[in-house]
Amino acid sequence: MRLIAICVLPLIAAAVSFALQATRSAPIRIAVLVGVAAAHLVLVVTLWIAPPAPTLSGWLAADPLGLLVLTLTSTLFLVTALYTVGYLRRERPRGGRMFVGGLLAFLGAASVVSLAHHLAMLWVGIEATTLALAPLVFHRHDRRSLEAVWKYLVLSSVGIALALLGIFFLATAQAGVPGRPLVIGDLVTQAGALHPAWLRASFLFLLVGFGTKMGLAPMHTWKPDTYGEAPSLVGGLMAGALTSCAFLGLARITQVAMAANLGAFIQPVLLGFGLLSLTVAAAFIIGQSDVKRLLAYSSVEHMGLLVLGLGLGGIGTYGTVLHVVNNGLAKGWLFLVVGNVVLATGSSAAAANRGVVRTLPVSGALLVLGLFAVTGSPPFGLFLSEFTILRAAIGGGHPWIAAAVLLLLAIIFVGMAALILEIALGEPDPTAVPVRESRWLTLGPIVLAILVLMLGVYIPLPVQDILERAAVALGGMAP
């Protein structure tokens, strides 16, 4: 019952928000947004306390992996909803009900993805997340956002179509094997009986399909344009929650492939995509002049790290699972802070935003801290997860991979630091005056920063337990 409520509640709220006409109902819409976001998180927390039984004949269930992504999405969404209160006071995107409704529909679709244990249902959820956020990318209705939304829709749709073909391949691999069709649990227990050639083909198509949605190189080309043009809070949801949902899709088929002993086939492929993504990210981060596009390439980098950890296996898988959480929270943090910078000047180009530490003291400080967090410096959580992945590379007999990753991470650090420090500490426009920052706009990033810092120092026991179980489900182990 709770599982269904978690999926359906945001969808009903989205419909209500669409139905509320006229500008004077704007406060009601905002109240619905924040209220539903809070209720959703409460429901998700109850899943941690009292694990629910699977419902809808096993199509909906909360396993460790799904629960992690769901909790990440729900937390990020509540923070973003509070930020939206402040954002909508400063900026009036055309079609306010489209904006709030799209956000809520996204939450519903992402919940379906997290809880779905039937691959076709998971696919429908991922498709729905794409469509729910498309109008939000296009909110400014100008040439640039049109180009961005066109690339986003075409590439995502092609990716999602190839993923569907991969799911059909998986159904073919399962033909004649006992068990419910396309239900994860039955696929995993019967993995040995699946037809290996079709399973391999299915893995490749799902990797390319969901990899496009994650933004793995070379299917990442929509990402900088979309993140660059979307409002920052939408960019934060995309880079933090949407990519994690797409990763969950990839993790599901990895779970099946690992159970079928196809590790020797899938791991080199994953390593290849991971290293390529890191390389592409490093190449485009150097010399980048737009901070939102910089964050988009940083997202490509972190998606690369996720599949790299999965490809290394062992404790690398644990590193990946932990990194999903860390990366999601850190991306939300940075995008919201950058959103404050962009709200102040109306541009995300570095040249227009120098000296943020003086003009926006709180956001400026959070931006500099965020730079260190997102590049994996101690004591933030991302250091821990990236270090675990590196340890897996060295321990697993891949010293060259470890060396290459270290080099690329160093290049990325230099590139990101150059741009972000220019924005934070550069000489501000002499006419610029310090702005009084709204609490609504700084609360979110502060909460996320505290969470990322906490995960670097201390991981609570229940979280640790779920992380370890998720890593084991993916064929890895706890360190």
Partner 1 sequence: MQTAPQLTLLFVVLSNFAVLGTTRLSTCIRAVAVQGFLLGILPLLLASHLSLHVIFLSVGTVTVKAVVLPWFLMWAIREAAVRREVEPFIGFISSLLLGAVALGLAFAIAARLPLPREQQELLVPVSLTTVMIGLLVLTTRRKALTQVVGYLMLENGIYLFGLTQAESVPFLLEVGVLLDVFVGVFIMGIVVFHINREFDSLDSARLTELQD
What residues line the site for partner 1 (CB under 8 A)? 120, 123-124, 127, 131, 134, 138, 141-144, 146-151, 153-154, 157-158, 160-161, 164-165, 167-169, 171-172, 175-176, 181-182, 195, 197-198, 201, 224-225, 228-229, 284, 288, 293
Q: How far apart are CA 386 and CA 114, in angstroms?
A: 24
Q: How far is the CB of 365 from partner 1 (least distance, A)?
A: 29
Q: How far is the CB of 366 from partner 1 (least distance, A)?
A: 26
Q: How far is the CB of 214 from partner 1 (least distance, A)?
A: 19
HSE of 44, CA atoms in CB hemisphere, 13 A: 30
Q: How far is the CB of 383 from partner 1 (least distance, A)?
A: 28
Using the minimum distance from each CB to partner 1, give the nearer residue, 294 or 306: 294
Using the minimum distance from each CB to partner 1, give the nearer residue, 201 or 417: 201
Q: How far is the CB of 301 from partner 1 (least distance, A)?
A: 15
Using the minimum distance from each CB to partner 1, give the nearer residue, 16 or 158: 158
Q: How far is the CB of 163 from partner 1 (least distance, A)?
A: 10
Which residue is it, tokens 């730079």?
Answer: 371
Using the minimum distance from each CB to partner 1, give the nearer residue, 228 or 381: 228
Using the minimum distance from each CB to partner 1, give the nearer residue, 67 or 182: 182
Using the minimum distance from each CB to partner 1, give the nearer residue, 81 or 282: 282
Do residues 217 and 276 make contact, with C-beta atoms less than 8 angstroms apart?
yes
Q: How far apart are CA 356 and CA 367, in angstroms?
A: 9
Q: How far is the CB of 154 from partner 1 (least distance, A)?
A: 7
- SS3 for the chain, per residue? CHHHHHHHHHHHHHHHHHHCCCHHHHHHHHHHHHHHHHHHHHHHHHHHHCCCCCECCCCECCCHHHHHHHHHHHHHHHHHHHHHHHHHHHCCCCCHHHHHHHHHHHHHHHHHHHHECEHHHHHHHHHHHHHHHHHHHCCCCCHHHHHHHHHHHHHHHHHHHHHHHHHHHHHHHHCCCCCCCCEHHHHHHCHHHCCHHHHHHHHHHHHHHHHHHHCCCCCCCHHHHHHHHCCHHHHHHHHHHHHHHHHHHHHHHHHHHHHCCCHHHHHHHHHHHHHHHHHHHHHHHCCCCEHHHHHHHHHHHHHHHHHHHHHHCEHHHHHHHHHHHHHHHHHHHHHHHHHHHHHHHCCCEHHHCCCHHHHCHHHHHHHHHHHHHHCCCCCCHHHHHHHHHHHHHHHCCCHHHHHHHHHHHHHHHHHHHHHHHHHHHCCCCCCCCCCCCCHHHHHHHHHHHHHHHHHHHCCCHHHHHHHHHHHHHCCECCC
Using the minimum distance from each CB to partner 1, give the nearer residue, 18 or 198: 198
Q: How far is the CB of 233 from partner 1 (least distance, A)?
A: 20
Using the minimum distance from each CB to partner 1, give the nearer residue, 53 or 154: 154
Q: How far is the CB of 292 from partner 1 (least distance, A)?
A: 11
Using the minimum distance from each CB to partner 1, give the nearer residue, 197 or 406: 197
Do residues 282 and 412 make contact, with C-beta atoms less than 8 angstroms apart?
yes
Return the structure tokens found at 121: 């249902």
Using the minimum distance from each CB to partner 1, give the nearer residue, 87 or 138: 138
Distance from the Cα of residue 424 to its chain's centroid: 25
Q: How many residues does the chain have?
A: 479
Q: How far is the CB of 341 from partner 1 (least distance, A)?
A: 20
Q: How far is the CB of 207 from partner 1 (least distance, A)?
A: 16
Q: How far is the CB of 174 from partner 1 (least distance, A)?
A: 8
Q: How far apart are CA 288 and CA 141, in angstroms?
A: 25
Using the minimum distance from each CB to partner 1, give the nearer residue, 172 or 190: 172
Do residues 375 and 413 make contact, with C-beta atoms less than 8 angstroms apart?
yes
Using the minimum distance from each CB to partner 1, give the nearer residue, 6 or 122: 122
